[in-house]
Amino acid sequence: MKHLIIFSMLILTIGSMGCAKKAAVSKDDSELDSADTQSSDPNSQSTDSDDDSSSNTYGISYFDTDPASDCPHPHVVENCANGWCEIPAGCYIWGSPEDQPCRGANTENQVQVTLTQSFIIQQTEVTQTQWEAAGFPNPVPNGVNGDADVGQNKPIIYVNWYEAMAFANALSDKEGFERCYDLSDCTGSIGSGCSEGEESCDNDDLEDVFNCPGDPHVHENWYACSGYRLPTNAEWEYAARAGTSTATYNGDFENSLEYGDVYEVPVLEPIAWYRSSENGNSLHDVAQKQPNRWGLYDVLGNAREWIDYVFNGYSLATNEGTDGPLIDPMGIKDDTILRRPLRGGFYTSYACRTSVTNNNEDSSDDRSLLNSFRLVRTLSLKK
């Protein structure tokens, strides 16, 4: 009964967090300022933002919104309520150009992607309060940073890929949607964390780590589930970009930026927690930096986010077995590969790895002080 009472707080908690802080952002491409106008607002845009060649002071470029184009991206309009933001279906270019600083040579090859179904996505990473409201114990206090990483509004960490799925199922149950994951064969405890002071742990370190055999997906087509789930690789990047075609949703890195550089990078300062002089060495509350144009906070920096996808070290196109164009990609299905992508970087990521295109990865059963997640749910179901 106690867990049911606690869990009843979950939806209210999620809603109260997501829209608490608003930055000055343009709501729609139709509201953009003149291309000749200089602005200190990193999210301000030019009237020509429908053209990929357009940019503002920060060098932001945008995908084509012409419906007659080969790859039409919808106009970006912030549509968020109760901690969730709606992302309409559309087309974009996944990956990065070869001249982007610090790009992953094997993971960021560009490919055209069309997502045919709209979805909602959490406005922030799942917080420790939201996690506990679902009836799960908070593993953070036992972590290597102790109380420094503990906070009601800080992202939940020390949870693995399967535990993120358990949270998704719990939220689906609460709201009356179908479960997207079958975790009936899983063993171990959800939220039990690592041994005191450990930065990470997996099933080889602790027998009690939550772990699942085989493929946990209920649907062969992951997009066809009506409940809550982890985003696919393509969905996450599409949502993180918010219509932009640059290294970050605030613009490109300077060409001189190199891996290992530690200084305040102007394009990242307004939008991300990363390895810079102001950052410190612990988690930050969500929604303290400026969101992207969809209204999403912390897609870059703070904590990296689990993705529902198989990571084999190659590009999205290689994972799909074709150079594209791709439609609703899900990647290869190989239960022998247990590495899963993590996107967005974290609070000690080097600046040049804090991009919307950078791919990290980890074992699906690994709990880490770096790993968190946010959920999505398909809106326009096409089975």
Of the candidates 357, 245, 352, the one whose C-alpha atom is nearest the C-alpha of residue 299 is 357
Q: What is the pLDDT of residue 209?
A: 97
Structure confidence by residue, pLDDT tens digits, 49-77: 343 333 344 689 999 999 999 999 999 99
Our CA angle for 348, 350, 352, nearest 5°, is 145
Task: Let me know: does 326 contact 111? Beta carbons within 8 Å.
Answer: yes
Structure confidence by residue, pLDDT tens digits, 248-281: 999 999 999 988 898 889 999 999 999 986 666 7
Q: What is the pLDDT of residue 232?
A: 97
Q: Where do the structural domains in the chain lie, given as residue ranges? A: 1-383
Residue 238 to residue 89: CA distance in whole angstroms: 10
Q: What is the pLDDT of residue 298?
A: 98
Omega before 325 within 30 of 0, i.e. cis: yes
Cα distances (Å, whole numbers) of residue 74 to 50, 136, 239, 317: 10, 38, 12, 23
Query: Strands 228-229, 376-378: parallel, antiparallel or unpaired by DSSP?
Result: antiparallel
| CATH code for the structural domain at 1-383 | 3.90.1580.10
Is the pLDDT score of 23 beyond 80?
Answer: no
Residue 125 to residue 172: CA distance in whole angstroms: 17
Our CA angle for 153, 156, 160, nearest 5°, is 170
Task: Let me know: does 192 contact 136? Beta carbons within 8 Å.
Answer: no
Is the pLDDT score of 185 beyond 50?
Answer: yes
Query: Strands 119-122, 111-115: parallel, antiparallel or unpaired by DSSP?
Result: unpaired
Of the candidates 377, 380, 378, the one whose C-alpha atom is nearest the C-alpha of residue 168 is 377
Over residues 20-42, mean pLDDT: 30
pTM given for the model: 0.86
